[in-house]
A and B are shown apart, each in its own frame.
Chain A
Amino acid sequence: MPDPSEIAAFRFGFGLPQARSAATTPEAILAALSGPDQGMALWPGPSEDEILSLHHEALIARRAVRKSGNDKVLREAYNGLARQVDRQEAQHARLFFARALDSPDAFRERLSWFWSDHFTTMAKSRQDRGFPGGMTDHALRPHLAGRFSALLRAAVLHPAMLLYLDQSTSMGPGSPAGKRRKTGLNENLARELVELHTLGVGADYAQEDVRQLAELLTGVAFEPGVGQVFHPRQAEPGPETVLGTRYAGEGMAPVLAALDDLARRPDTARHLARKLAVHFLTDTPDEQLVERMAEAYLRHDTALLPVYEVMLTDASAFAEPRVKARQPGEFLVASLRALNLGGAQVMRMAPKPFQRLLRDPLAAMGQPWARPRGPDGWPEAAAAWISPQGLAARISWAMEVPGLLVEGGMPDPRALLDQCLGGLAGEPLRIAAARSESIREGVGLVLASPEFNRR
């Protein structure tokens, strides 16, 4: 019989064996989440300033190359900076592994992944590649256990988002800058803000709300080296009406008010509650549970901890069946954990092995690091991941890579099975693990098994 703490490790963490002093009960998980961010403390990443200034330098260098008509020396200087940005992106990928492997507060790491996906961003230019990881660390992680309204502000106004969804170039058609440059509105951020980040596509809003919100957002922009700024000269003059509420006034105040109002909408509560339940519990969550989570959200003025609490204390949260599929990133972390690798080993891997043994396979499994398919992020349905291609890549990785990663000999497949599945392993898997032709294949079988890949 599976133990509830084993279920917790799969469903709200990165698998077994758990990190030392890991939280495994709802109370302990919530208590850890209310405390400091242990993952960031263990493995800090580049600061927001480092990311901003490297981006700025690279951007200046790139412009200089263009202006010079591709001067060779300037080109070299730019390439050097661009490689530094690439390393920042790779650093964020490593940090994902290291924190997930080492932090006893695994649920925070899973939430960090969840909210990064909810607020999907992607670098559209090479010099922007430090921003998405920086957004996770510095905009999302501080608010994971706080209020969604604060999380929303931080996410939507982060350079990664402003650049990804074209906000910086959206100008009020009637604004001084819009008139002078004969440019105008871009609806991209406004639409995803409503459709993906807050209300959800099923909610009752109209094209005109999107348009009005886009006008309201004009003026909000990203400035290299600085971050989010407000350019009054780009802002559409006059008030806007979004979902029946009129927003007037100058500067950021009406924008922030609109974001707060969006966060407080019942549609947003339900959208977020459902998404959380779908991500952590099942693709078809119980409607009453979703409703209770949404109620907690609204009752506590968008605070997230009470929403997590409702989810974690639901009877289904620590019970079988496990119907979701681990996403590729989780699968790889869980595999490393099963093989007793720690964050330090991932952090000191040379760039090439890291790329070849972890980052490329992630892509082969359908989840390339920092390259989501679109602003709606990664799919949730188990079938989207356990496709013939996706499963083929998991099987291949499981059969081939552990031997290259483990220092000091591969584990006996039977011992590995007990360690990483405990009471969750079925009888056929126990038999198969014992009958495999080689240790390598036995380890592969365990890691490629449904029991290991479901959560």
Chain B
Amino acid sequence: MTDLNRRLFLRGSAATLLGCSAAAHPLLTTVTLAAGAPALGENRLVVVILRGAMDGLDAVQPLGDPLFTRYRPTLGVQTGAQTLDGYFGLHPNLAALLPLWQKGELGFVHATSTPYRDKRSHFDGQDILEAGTGLDVPQAEVRDGWLNRMLQVVPGLTAETAYAVGREALPLLTGAATVRNWTPDLKLALTPQSRLLLEHIYHDDDLFRDAAQEAMELAAEMDLDRMSGETMQAGAAKAPKRLADLDKLAQFAAERLRGETRIAAFSLSGWDTHRAQRGSLGQSLTGLERLVLQLRSGLAGDWDRTLVLAMTEFGRTVAENGTRGTDHGTGGAMLLAGGALKGGRVMGRWPGLAEADLYDRRDLMPTTDVRHWAAWAMRGLYGLDRSVLENAVFPGLSMQDDPGLLR
């Protein structure tokens, strides 16, 4: 099996699947690099997956829509949004980003979503978001994420080119292209002999062999106390600890991005706000705000060549639920930041909030596909050929018109 096939599919049924439909399957289009597709150059891309479904309507509030307050008696206007453009307002916990908005370094896409509909399951929604596929591809057969597939078409990658940062698995960046992983405070002490012996015993087990190489490379030394401590208590972390953790991640990423690294990806959880959303969403937005600001200061001069894309699996219900929260919805919002961005605007077509305009009469109607924005971002940053983006990175996507994301 070729490398390309191997990385795209494998899960027991791979052989049959390839046998019967390889020719027709969009994911298996042979990837030939479009002539002149450049190496990544100087531009940086940071992708942040917001796990749990961020409420786009609370982050970027359609204050100009008279229906908005009716749907959101305690959320929304009551939170004290800061006006962005006369129509949309910014959640107060993102207010520290307003100077970026004014300089055009911050923007949003509203009413956007993956092709996923109806079941509103976080887990399926995230799978599709990170796989970057359409609904025609069974998720069980997807073996890599769209950001990794983008790297697969770029020649001359080094191990340092891309980093998955943090403790959570990141399917987005998983796949055949070499990617480094980094988590704070996890180091490993091994004598050269132990390393050799471990390599030896892992040799015949692909999974262990692949993981061990990186585990050992990442490691300089480890002492037991590094396993302890607050960073390990993921879910239990209180806000300040969480922010301290975020700082570490952002600082590490910024440092790498100032060097050879061009792509970094994170995930932030804590967006599933079924009740008492004001408190919980506020905390999560503060984290996102902090992440953007830390990246900006950490990247210094390189911020001008950076784009940050923060995306989530779907939006939440337009109406508040009975417990001052919101339930799983469809159309959501995406945050974009960076000196490379032509921001200062809320992009995407606003569908309106009249009941007839809603999806399923309850959710914001998605008017664009999140992959459209990610594809144009990558085309803008790296000049990737449109056919490569539409076939290999986001199989089956039609990119539509250029939204002119970058300066």
Contact = CB atoms under 8 A, between A and B. Distances in A.
Interface of A: 122, 166, 169-171, 173, 178, 182-188, 191, 195, 201, 206-207, 283-284, 325, 355-357, 360-361, 363-364, 366, 368, 371-374, 376, 379, 382-384, 386-393, 395-397, 399-401, 426, 428-429, 431-432, 435-437, 441, 444-445, 448-450, 453-454
Interface residues of B, number: 67
A284 B15 CA distance: 13
B232 A389 contact: no
Contact of B321 (A185, A195, A437, A445): A185
Contact of B200 (A371, A383, A392, A432): A432
B201 A432 contact: yes
B399 interface: no
Contacts of A436: 193-194, 197
A392 B124 contact: no
14 contacts: A170-B323, A183-B323, A191-B328, A195-B121, A283-B11, A364-B232, A374-B269, A386-B208, A389-B183, A389-B215, A396-B224, A428-B201, A432-B198, A445-B201
Contact of A387 (B123, B181, B189, B203): B181
A43 to B, nearest CB: 25
Contact of A437 (B191, B198, B233, B327): B191
B218 interface: yes
B197 A445 contact: yes
B189 A399 contact: yes
A242 B269 CA distance: 31
Given A169-B323, A389-B215, A396 B274 contact: no
Contacts of B214: 388
A165 B200 CA distance: 47
Given A171-B322, A364-B227, A389-B181, A186 B274 contact: yes
Nearest to A186: B323
Contacts of B167: 366, 389
B207 A360 contact: no
Contacts of A450: 201-202, 204-205, 207-208
Listed from nearest, the 5 A-B pairs whose CB atoms lie closest are: A184-B322, A284-B12, A371-B235, A392-B215, A363-B232
Interface in B180-227: 181, 183, 186, 188-191, 193-194, 197-198, 200-205, 207-208, 211-212, 214-216, 218-219, 222-225, 227
Given A186-B321, A371-B236, A396-B188, A201 B211 contact: no
B279 to A, nearest CB: 12
Nearest to B169: A384
B305 interface: no
B169 A441 contact: no
B227 A397 contact: yes
B194 A186 contact: no
B228 interface: yes
A184 B205 contact: no
A383 to B, nearest CB: 6
Contacts of B183: 389
A201 to B, nearest CB: 5
A356 B224 contact: yes
Contacts of A201: 119, 121, 123-124
Interface string B145-168: 000000000000000000000011
Contact of A360 (B122, B219, B228, B360): B228
B208 A187 contact: no
Given A185-B321, A436-B193, 13 more contacts: A182-B73, A201-B119, A207-B120, A363-B227, A364-B186, A368-B235, A371-B235, A373-B168, A373-B234, A428-B204, A436-B194, A437-B194, A441-B194
A414 to B, nearest CB: 14
B232 to A, nearest CB: 4
Contacts of A426: 201, 204
B118 interface: yes
B323 to A, nearest CB: 4
Contacts of B191: 437, 441
A186 B325 contact: yes
Contacts of B119: 195, 201
A428 B203 CA distance: 9
Nearest to B363: A207
Contacts of B118: 206-207
Contact of A374 (B122, B274, B321, B325): B122
Interface in B263-280: 269, 272, 274-275
A293 B262 CA distance: 49
Nearest to A363: B232
B13 interface: yes
Of B11, B219, B322, which is in contact with the most chain A CB atoms at under 10 Å from its CB? Answer: B322
Contacts of A371: 233-236
Nearest to B276: A169
A185 B194 CA distance: 58
Contacts of B322: 169-171, 173, 178, 183-186
A354 B300 CA distance: 44
B219 to A, nearest CB: 6
Interface string B96-120: 0000000000000000000000111
A388 B201 contact: no
Contacts of B222: 392, 396, 400
A30 B121 CA distance: 35
Nearest to B223: A400
Nearest to A384: B169
A102 to B, nearest CB: 26
Interface string B318-351: 0001111101100000000000000000000000
A22 B271 CA distance: 45
